[in-house]
Amino acid sequence: MMSGNYTTIDNQKVSGSVPAVSDSPGHVAVKFTDSNLQTFPPSGAQGKIFGGSRPPRDADDTFSKPASGSDEPQQQQQSGWFQVFSIAYYRPYFDVETADVMERIKDSLFPFKGSFSEKTSNNPDLYGPFWICTTLTFVAASIGTFVTYVAHKLQKKEWNYDVNLVTWSAGLFYGYVTVVPVGLYIILKYSSVPSGLVQLFCLYGYSLFIFIPALCLSVVPLELFRWVVAGVAGFMSATFVALNLRNHIKSAGERWFLIVTGIFLLQLALSIVLKLYLFTITV
């Protein structure tokens, strides 16, 4: 019950707001400003850090776009040589179709075409070279182990598994397709010949595919046959690399012939090393 100087409030008007008090004597109107009240997360988000909030849609732009001011030079510095340590830098070189990999493998088996560099100039990949080296390591270790095991059993001698065969094969193949292209890249830069390092990795990686069937044929227990297989594989691989780089290296002037000859002989040397250490079975 309201009496005296108080004003009666209608119950139907209490939803969300209170009507102003009449301007009668003895009353003072008080105005309330908006208070900065803390908004608590819903009850379901209790116990979670930032349970009720989400980052804006463009929150990731902070890491992809340079900020204003002094952060821009730092972003440009990170986009230089530092990007080679990022996985995202190599992702485009593994984004290749199976049909493209098979086509490049076929080109490596026909070395006299010399069109591999032109086909891969715009989209060289590292997927094929990686799996070719991995397959070579597996084939070299498995076939080498199998052949030596059979040879020891036929002569009734004790056989022990050589674990160093795996590490030696992996170091040889992965090291070759890494060190040799880098060395050639430095030589071409010194000779003022424009070249792409990834394209050299791609070329040398596919050039080793011919040694996969060659290693499989090394199970034949004929030493002369193994020498022939190693020689043919080395010649095809060396020709494939030399012919694909010949037209490109001609811009180096008179030294181009020496560079191509060195590339050819180095690839032949690889086949000789493979013959002596992987194609030869000792009991």
Question: Which residue range forms the structural domain that includes residue 122?
Answer: 114-277
Read off the pLDDT band of 202 (50, 70, 90).
very high
Q: Report yes or no on 256 lying in a domain.
A: yes
What is the pTM (predicted TM-score) of this model?
Answer: 0.68
Q: Report yes or no on 255 lying in a domain.
A: yes
User: Would you list the DSSP string of 220-251?
Assistant: SS-HHHHHHHHHHHHHHHHHHHHHHHHHHHGG
Which tens digits make up the pLDDT trace of 3-30?
455 555 555 544 555 555 555 555 555 5
Q: Report yes or no on 26 lying in a domain.
A: no
Q: Can you give the pLDDT at residue 10?
A: 54
Rounded-to-integer distance, Cα 231 and Cα 271, Å: 7
Q: Report yes or no on 225 lying in a domain.
A: yes
Q: Report yes or no on 127 lying in a domain.
A: yes
Assess whether pLDDT exceeds 80 at residue 263: yes
Which tens digits make up the pLDDT trace of 146-173?
888 877 777 778 887 777 888 889 999 9
Q: Is 246 exposed, middle or buried (0-12, 13-18, 19+ CB in 10 A)?
A: middle
The token duo for 245 is: 């780089």
Q: Report yes or no on 120 lying in a domain.
A: yes
Total of domains in the chain: 1
Is there a contact between 241 and 267 (Cβ–Cβ < 8 Å)? Answer: yes
Q: Report yes or no on 158 lying in a domain.
A: yes
Q: Average pLDDT, whole number, for the chain?
A: 75
Is there a contact between 91 and 192 (Cβ–Cβ < 8 Å)? Answer: no
Q: Report yes or no on 70 lying in a domain.
A: no
